[in-house]
Amino acid sequence: MDLHSQMILSEYDAQLPLIQRLEQVVLRVLNEALERNGLLVTAVSSRIKTKESLEGKLALKGDKYHSLSDITDILGARIITFYTDDVDRIAAMAEQLFDIDWQNSVDKRRLHDLDSFGYNSLHYICRLPKSLVDEPDCPQMNEMRFELQLRTTLQHAWASINHDIGYKTGVEIPPVYLRQINRLAGILEMADDEFSRIRTEINDYRRRVQQLVQNGKLDDVQLDGDTFRSYLNARPFETLTRRIAAINQAEIQEVSLMPYLPILKVLGCHTLGDVSRLRNKYEEDAYTLARHQLGNTDLDIISSSVGIQNICIVCILAQGGGKIGLTRLFNSLNGENEYNEMLADITFKQAQTLPFMNH
Amino acid sequence: MKTTITYNGNQIIAAFAGRLDTAAAVQTAEDVKPLQEAENKEIILDCEQLEYISSSGLRIFLGIRKDAATHGSKVIVRNINADIRQVFVMTGFISLFEIQ
């Protein structure tokens, strides 16, 4: 190794503690910013180039670098996203956070010819601005550059496998295999675009459903997990549950009402409009049932599901579902077990005396 | 009211006997404290000898469930009598607990 390379390696040894501090700050800043912006990613990672790796780099192209500061990837951070759109969002976030060295940054996604595929990743060379870290006794924290790589999970998978194949074989890979690897990059690029498109369409669908729920156009909304969740955000059973709670001045414990989705489907609800009509039709009888059950007790705690539960019970009985229908309800809520029949029997007997059973 | 806690491999069994009413709730809440920190366990609330449960008792069960969820544990309510099972239905908690 020549003297020049040895000097750079000595610089590396001297600056390693500083690089380690920089790494901590960069990771903290990135994680905090991702959380602040509500961006979910697959991974945030970093690495400091090892001395052995630096030696290898210097052996190959040492004369290219005057000093350690010319090597921009001594510290590298990487964010792996789920979606290709998120790479651009996080890039915008990084541009706000860091001073970007545009001359040395490269968007490898845009380097391919129209008819070629391969490594896709966005590489930003960054510095910490003084607005993030300002330590007068350590100005190097703002001078030292680091590399931020942004790529999707699929781009990362391709790059990792491509790297593994390239380095492990130790022989020059015949063009036919290179072509096969590169055409896989094309397939993954298509898959990335498809995932992003599907996400966008799902989000559009959710927004449309929320709009329909807000506008009360419930008959236009099919009943499924997403739409029922949106509907529940409007707390359609709260009035009934509060009335039931008032019977014993009870505290209401919030629980998920999602377990009632399959039951509502069995009861013939196909749209949110059907659910709304079911509620309107049976809420008074559901309240009567609750008053009959709870009025003679001192139970002053109920779950927020008691309203919808009683609506389902009353609907089953009103539709002539009887004990078998109630047993199915309890099987759905509580898992199948031998006691549900007994519960159905008790509930059926309690309801026998109530007006809705004699309509 | 008596609460007995036993350990069986990955299971912690809290066996309740008597009437879990407001008067007994303070002592029972104290007795079930060992369940609070149980990590990745199956917590069995054995109610074979439990004759009655009040709102205070339900709150203890809800507290155990909440702690268990925080620590990756699972709660199973076992052997409850018909009256107590009916309490779980009337209050709407039947869908919240795994009742066997």
Q: Is residue A165 part of a domain?
A: no
CB spacing of A303 vs B93 below 8 angstroms: yes
Contact (CB<8Å) A299/B93: no
Specify whether A247 is located in the same domain as A148: no
Same domain, residue pair A151 and A282:
no
Per the prediction, chain B carries an average pLDDT of: 92
The shortest CB-CB distance from A255 to any of B85, B96, B100 is to B96
Q: Are residues A10 and A151 in the same domain?
A: yes
- Structure-token match 């002539």, residue found: A320
A chain contacts of residue B58, beta-carbon cutoff 8 Å: 299, 301
Number of structural domains found in chain A: 2
A111 or B35, which is more confident: B35
Range of the domain at A313: 236-358
Query: How far lies A110's CA from each of A50, A118, A119, A122, A261, in Å?
Result: 30, 11, 10, 9, 47
Hey, is A47 helix, strand or coil? strand
Please say which residue of A97, A122, A155 terminates a domain.
A155
Question: What is the pLDDT, as a whole number, of residue A120?
Answer: 77
Look up the CATH number of the domain holding residue B39.
3.30.750.24
pLDDT at A353: 83
Mean pLDDT score, A83-98: 93
Q: Are residues A7 and A123 in the same domain?
A: yes
Does A169 score more than 60 pLDDT? no
Q: Is residue A139 part of a domain?
A: yes
Average pLDDT on A160-168 reads 79
Kindly state whether residue A203 falls inside one of the protein's structural domains.
no
Q: Name the residue in chain A with its Cα closest to that of B58.
A: A301
B84 min Cα distance to partner chain A (Å): 10
Residue A58 in any domain: the answer is yes
Range of B71's domain? 2-99
- Residue A218 maps to a domain: no
Q: Which residue has the higher pLDDT, A253 or A59?
A: A253
pLDDT value, residue A4: 82
Among residues A155, A178, A197, the one where a domain terminates is: A155
pLDDT tens-digit map of A306-348: 999 999 999 999 989 999 999 999 999 888 888 888 889 989 9
- Is A180 among the domain residues? no
Select from A138, A155, A172 the last residue of a domain.
A155
Query: Nearest CA of chain B to the CA of A279: how many Å?
Result: 17
Interchain pair B54, A259: CB under 8 A: no
Q: Say yes or no: A147 and A255 in one domain.
A: no
Domain count, chain B: 1
Q: Has residue A326 been placed in a domain? A: yes
Read off the tokens for A93.
């976030």
- B55 to chain A: which residues are within 8 Å by CB? 250, 298-301
Nearest to B68 by CA among B15, B14, B8: B14
Q: Has residue A169 been placed in a domain? A: no
Count CB neighbours of A95 within 10 A: 14
The tokens describing B86, both together, are: 């009916």
Percent of chain A with pLDDT over 70: 95
Cα–Cα distance measured from residue A131 to residue A269, given in angstroms and rounded to the nearest whole number: 56
Joined tokens for residue A136: 């007068």
With vertex at residue A289, the alpha carbon angle to CA A285 and CA A292, rounded to the nearest 5 degrees, is 135
Question: Residues A213-218: contacts with CB within 8 Å, 24+ apart?
Answer: A213/A272, A218/A271, A218/A272, A218/A273, A218/A275, A218/A276
pLDDT in tens, A187-224: 999 999 999 999 998 888 778 877 887 787 889 889 99
**Stretch A237-253: mean pLDDT, rounded?**
93
pLDDT score of A108 more than 80:
no
Residue A94 tokens, joined? 């990084």
* Per-residue model confidence (pLDDT) at position A167: 65
User: Is A119 a residue whose pLDDT tops 90?
Assistant: no
Instruction: Select the highest-mean-pLDDT range: A107-116, A170-179, B16-25.
Output: B16-25
